[in-house]
Amino acid sequence: MVFTGRNAKANEEAEQSLGNQAHGIVSDAAKLEDIQRLKAQVKAVAPKVDILFLNAGIARFSPLDQVTAGFYDQIFDVNFKGAYLTIQALLLLVNDGGSIILNTSSNAHFGRGIQAGR
């Protein structure tokens, strides 16, 4: 099992908890340079992947009239662009018949009231 996370200490704790077959790679889904390195890092541990499970995501909320481009970019970079580019980077490592699973938020199905700041 190979997994990623932004926090090296948390990755080490997960490796210890999961056992000898677990390998954590420090990688941030919002950072293009991390995603570009990911293929070689995964391939060094597992030349082929049966399941690619994408779970990175953040939730930030703000009144609509207070959302900045930076606020939007941060959410978009992790929740969409990071997932897309990770699939792109690792696609050739996925075995024929393998699976790509995208874990999403309930926010895609349930609205949340937003009130403009006044």
Would you list the domain boundaries of the chain? 2-105
DSSP type of residue 88: H
Tokens of 35: 């995603």
Q: Using CA atoms, how far apart are residues 78 and 89, in angstroms rounded to an integer?
A: 15
Fold designation for 2-105: Rossmann fold (3.40.50)
Task: Examine the pLDDT at 108 and tell me if it is beyond 70.
Answer: no
Percentage of residues in the chain having pLDDT higher than 90? 77
Question: Residue 52's pLDDT is what?
Answer: 96
Task: Examine the pLDDT at 84 and tell me if it is beyond 90.
Answer: yes
Sequence-ordered list of residues with C-beta below 8 angstroms from that of 9, at least 6 positions apart, any chain: none
Per-residue pLDDT of 29-63, as tens digits, reads 999 999 999 999 999 999 999 999 999 888 888 89
Average pLDDT over all residues of the chain:
90
